[in-house]
């Protein structure tokens, strides 16, 4: 069965060259939307987004795309441009979207920021930004293949403004970088490429283009290159130019090869036979498999060590090491430890009574001599950023790998699906333990070895970890609810205190002891009436003493004043 699998691998190496041409032929209508925003009115102007977008638009046009472009767009202009793209891309077989500029993530959703955004209040995202999911939704209407390239993870001062505007309750929902995006239900295929990993910040660059756009321009027009190969090359180039500080991120759900530029017609599409390199790899895989099968049949420590000596990074190296550990723990005898691995296997095979074992041994005997076969295997076994990117691991697959690393005691902490420093260190520990080159990056063989080492009990382990996470989440929710209830009770108590203060009667100054009232000075009014006759008539007069009293007072005052004035004059 293994021999049949190797033959199938060899046939796939021959057939891959034919796939791109056929895939590209299906893309009769290709439409691209390219947007670059740099001249922000309420934030410092960016250097490269417009030049990045114009260069990418030109590349798309050379690749046969009908291109809709927009540069330094405000909210209304951005929405109008997206609508133009949506109309133009109806019934398209392949759509592409490239955006360069400021972006923001809020509650795990990504937004494009127009140049007129202010983010002065909590409603800003609803009225001043455009969701990236909205753009992808327009692309999915076509049921074709969709490619998205986002160079929008630059350090964003508007994020701080939005954080202040949202208030304490929702500040933590604003992410430093962009969030991963869902690629499920993607029709014929969807691939989303970010300039950097989720939650991280990308560099704007010191040249005419950002590191991500520069690498994309260098690779997007490679003849016959599938988009996953393009992004693997882009990832490696960005890592080199940023000293491993920025790692592009690809989240893809594609149903087949996507080649933007077919191979030249004069290039042979299907080779009559595998190339020399392919033949060498197939022969090496066959020798690797036969040698392991022979050792597996013998089930001795020496035979497994002989296999590892010949193929230290072979297809079954991890399994061989596990078998050695198991046999050692069981106290199995070491039958042929005195001989070198190659000689041991050869001699044992020659003396084997079964003709089948002798035939296998003859093929195995030559394996250690074939250095030109072993060397490519050693290189292929080395995990690199490119080999890991080629795996197209989604968030769930990365979580599964983190769980498996924890199972083999390569502690990577909580399985969050993000390969940060802790996860890279754990991968390195796993590689060192299993004889792989320690790089911190995985390839297909290493993932297979990790899965083989952890398949037993993996589902139970994940279930237990999920249970622990659920209990922790419930505990945190209960703590938050208790804190919220306590805050509510404090607020209610404060309100009751304020209400009680308002209802209490106001204090007044104590009443002073009453003093006996002095009687008011009363003015006695005396009226005098006199009657007298003159001839036949009688007359009467009435005199009011108040008038007389006033006159007397005036007279006395005049006399006293005169006396005093005279004295002073003398």
The two structure tokens encoding residue 151:
């160079």
The list of the chain residues with pLDDT below 50 reads: 1-25, 167-176, 267, 269-272, 336-360, 362-380
pLDDT at 279: 65
Confidence at residue 57, expressed as pLDDT on a 0 to 100 scale: 96
For residue 470, the model assigns a pLDDT of: 81
Contacts of residues 162-171 at CB distance under 8 Å and 24 or more positions apart, as own/partner, are 162/104, 162/106, 162/119, 162/124, 162/125, 165/119, 165/120, 165/121, 165/122, 165/124, 166/122, 167/122, 170/122
**Could you write out the DSSP letters of every residue in 297-365?**
HHT-HHHHHHHHHH-TT-TTHHHHHHHHHHHHHHT---SSTTS-HHHHHHHHHHH-SSHHHHHHHHHHH
Report CA dihedral (287, 288, 294, 296) to the nearest 10 degrees. -170
Q: What are the distances in angstroms from CA 350 to CA 293, 345, 346, 364, 385?
A: 16, 9, 6, 11, 44
In the prediction, which pLDDT does 14 show? Answer: 34
Distance CA 25, CA 513 (A): 111
Q: What is the pLDDT of residue 61?
A: 95
**pLDDT value at residue 31:** 94
pLDDT on residue 328: 85
258: left (phi over 0), alpha (psi -120 to 50) or beta: beta
Which structural domains are found in the chain, ordered by start? 18-254 (3.40.50.1460), 277-380 (no CATH), 384-459 (no CATH)
pLDDT of residue 202: 60
What's residue 558's pLDDT?
72
pLDDT at 149: 94
């Amino acid at each position: 069965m293994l021999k049949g699998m190797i033959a199938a691998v060899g046939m796939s190496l021959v057939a891959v060259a034919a796939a791109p041409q056929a895939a590209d032929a299906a893309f009769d209508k290709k439409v691209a939307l390219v947007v670059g925003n740099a001249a922000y009115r309420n934030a410092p102007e960016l250097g490269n987004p417009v030049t990045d977008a114009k260069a990418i638009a030109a590349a798309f046009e050379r690749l046969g795309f009908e291109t809709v472009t927009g540069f330094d767009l405000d909210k209304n202009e951005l929405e109008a441009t997206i609508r133009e793209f949506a109309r133009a891309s109806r019934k398209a077989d392949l759509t592409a979207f490239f955006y360069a500029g400021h972006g923001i993530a809020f509650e795990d959703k990504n937004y494009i920021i127009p140049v007129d955004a202010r983010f002065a209040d909590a409603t800003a995202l609803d009225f001043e930004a455009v969701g990236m999911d909205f753009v992808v939704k327009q692309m999915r209407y076509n049921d074709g293949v969709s490619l998205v390239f986002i160079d929008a993870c630059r350090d964003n001062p508007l994020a701080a403004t939005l954080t202040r505007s949202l208030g304490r309750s929702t500040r933590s929902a604003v992410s430093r970088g962009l969030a991963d995006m869902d690629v499920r239900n993607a029709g014929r295929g969807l691939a989303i490429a970010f300039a950097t990993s989720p939650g991280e910040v990308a560099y704007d660059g010191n040249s005419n283009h950002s590191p991500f756009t520069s690498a994309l321009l260098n690779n997007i027009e490679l003849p016959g290159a599938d988009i996953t190969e393009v992004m693997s090359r882009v990832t490696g180039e960005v890592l080199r130019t940023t000293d491993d500080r920025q790692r592009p991120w690809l989240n893809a759900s594609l149903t087949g090869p996507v080649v933007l530029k077919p191979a030249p017609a004069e290039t042979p599409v299907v080779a009559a036979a595998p190339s020399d390199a392919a033949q060498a790899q197939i022969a090496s895989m066959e020798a690797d498999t036969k040698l392991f099968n022979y050792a597996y049949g013998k089930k001795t420590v020496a035979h497994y060590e002989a296999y590892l000596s010949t193929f230290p990074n072979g297809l079954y190296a991890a399994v061989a090491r596990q078998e050695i550990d198991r046999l050692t723990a069981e106290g199995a005898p070491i039958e042929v430890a005195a001989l070198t691995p190659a000689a041991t296997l050869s001699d044992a095979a020659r003396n084997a009574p079964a003709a089948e074992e002798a035939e296998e041994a003859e093929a195995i005997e030559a394996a250690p001599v074939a250095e030109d076969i072993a060397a490519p295997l050693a290189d292929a076994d080395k995990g690199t950023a490119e080999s890991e990117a080629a795996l197209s691991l989604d968030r769930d697959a990365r979580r599964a790998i983190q769980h498996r690393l924890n199972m083999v005691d390569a502690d990577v902490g909580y399985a969050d699906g993000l390969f940060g420093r802790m996860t890279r260190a754990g991968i390195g520990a796993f590689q060192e333990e299993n004889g792989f080159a320690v790089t911190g990056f995985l390839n297909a063989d290493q993932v297979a070895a990790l899965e083989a080492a952890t398949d037993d009990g993996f589902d139970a382990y994940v279930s237990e970890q999920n249970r622990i996470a659920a209990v922790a989440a419930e505990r945190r929710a209960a703590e938050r609810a208790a804190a919220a209830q306590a805050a509510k009770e404090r607020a209610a108590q404060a309100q009751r205190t304020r209400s009680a203060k308002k209802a209490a009667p106001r204090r007044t100054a104590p009443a002073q002891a009453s003093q006996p009232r002095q009687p008011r000075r009363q003015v006695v009014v005396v009226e005098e009436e006199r009657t007298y006759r003159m001839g036949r008539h009688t007359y009467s007069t009435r005199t009011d003493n108040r008038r007389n009293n006033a006159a007397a007072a005036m007279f006395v005052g005049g006399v006293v004043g005169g006396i005093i004035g005279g004295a002073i004059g003398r």
